[in-house]
Amino acid sequence: MVRWAPRISVLSLPWNGRPYQFQIWGPKSGPRRSAQSVFPEFELLRSPKGVRNERFRLADDTEWSHIYPAIPDSDIQDFMSLDDDGLAARCGNLALVKVLLKWSVPMNNAPNFHGVTPLAQAATGGHKAIFDLLLQTSSGDVNKPDNNGDNPLARAAEEGHALIVQTLLQQDGILADPRNIFGETPLALAAERGHTDVVKLLLQHPDVEIDSSDREGCTPLARAAAMGHADIVRMLADHSEVNINSKDCDGYSPMAWAARRGHCAVIRELMGHVEIDSESKDEDGFTPLMIALDEGNSDVIRAICEA
C-alpha cells in the first residue's frame, strides 16, 4: 500500500510477517514514482535526479537507514543483508539490489552473521534475476559455505531451484558434492525434499558421489525412501553405484524406512530390484515386514508379501 504525503511517501510490503517500508525525501512538490519492481504491489520510489537521500527500514525498526550509506564501500554487504535473512537478496527486491550495486564497489559477496552471502540468499529464495546479477558482479567465492557448511548450490538444491542449480553446476571450479556439518550433500538435500529436476541435474555431474552417507549413515536413497519419493528412489536405485541395501547407524535400510513410514510405492519400487534384501534386519533385529507389522500398516504388509 502506498500512502502519499506532501513531501514523504511510504510503501509497505508484507515479507515473512514484517512489512518492508521505503521512505523518500523529495522536493516540495513531492517524490515521483518510477518503474515497478519485481514484487507485486511494490513500487520503488526514487528521488529527483542527482539527489541521493533514499532511506529504508523494516517496520519494526525505529530508525531509518540511508540506502546510500555513509560507510566504507567495503561494508556495503551490511545493506545487502539487512537482517538475518538477507532482506534485499532473499526476498527478491531486484530494484534495491541494483541500487546498492550501482552505488557500491563490486560486491565482494561477504557473509552476514550466519555466514550466508548475498549470493546464497538469492539462491535460497530462487530469485534467478538477482542471483545472475550478483554472480556477474561478485568477486567472492561461489562455493563459500555458511556456518552450517551449506554453499549456495546446497541451499538452491534443498529449496528445489533447478535453474539456479543448473547455473551453478556450469561455473568453473564449482564444488558439486560438498558436505555440510551434518555430512549432507546437495544431492541428499534435494532427494529428501523430493526435487526431481534438481536430482536429475546433480546425477549428471561427474563429481557427485551418488551413494554418499551423512553423519547418521543415511544415503540419498534412504532419504528419498523415508520421505516417499518413489520417482527419486527409482532414479537412484537404477544406478550401479548405489547399494539399495545400505544401512544407517541404526541398521535401517531404505526399505526399512519406507516400511516404517508407510510408503507402499517405494516398497514396490525397491522390491522390483533383484538385489533387494527384504529380510535385512535393523539393530533391533526387525525386518521391513516386521516393522510394517509393528506399525499395523496393512497396505505395506500386502506390498511386501505380494512382491
pLDDT band at 79 (very low <50, low <70, confident <90, very high): very low
In a domain, 5, yes or no: no
What is the pLDDT, as a whole number, of residue 117? Answer: 83
| Rounded distance between C-alpha atoms, residue 42 and residue 1, angstroms | 8
Q: Are 13 and 64 in contact (CB under 8 A)?
A: no
How much is the average pLDDT of 103-116? 63
In a domain, 284, yes or no: yes
In a domain, 165, yes or no: no
C-alpha cell at 54: 533514499
Instruction: Assess whether pLDDT exceeds 90 at residue 276.
Output: yes
What is the pLDDT, as a whole number, of residue 39? Answer: 31
| Rounded distance between C-alpha atoms, residue 179 and residue 177, angstroms | 7
pLDDT digits (tens, 9 = 90+) for 5-40: 223 333 333 333 333 444 433 333 333 333 233 333
Q: Among 53-67, 160-174, 193-207, where is mean pLDDT lowest? A: 53-67
In a domain, 279, yes or no: yes
Domain count, the chain: 1
- CATH number reported for the structural domain that contains residue 304 in this entry: 1.25.40.20
In a domain, 69, yes or no: no
pLDDT digits (tens, 9 = 90+) for 209-223: 999 999 999 999 999
What is the pLDDT, as a whole number, of residue 36? Answer: 31
What is the pLDDT, as a whole number, of residue 116? Answer: 83
What is the pLDDT, as a whole number, of residue 102? Answer: 56
What is the pLDDT, as a whole number, of residue 170? Answer: 96
In terms of residue numbers, what domain contains 270? 210-307
Instruction: Assess whether pLDDT exceeds 50 at residue 55.
Output: yes
Tell me the whole-structure pTM to 2 decimals.
0.71
In a domain, 243, yes or no: yes
In a domain, 155, yes or no: no
pLDDT band at 94 (very low <50, low <70, confident <90, very high): low
Q: Which residues contact 306 (CB under 8 A, 6 or more apart)?
A: none
What is the pLDDT, as a whole number, of residue 304? Answer: 93
How much is the average pLDDT of 60-80? 43
**What does the angle CA 138 – CA 140 – CA 141 come to, to the nearest 5 degrees?**
125
| Rounded distance between C-alpha atoms, residue 294 and residue 288, angstroms | 10
In a domain, 215, yes or no: yes
Average pLDDT, the chain: 75
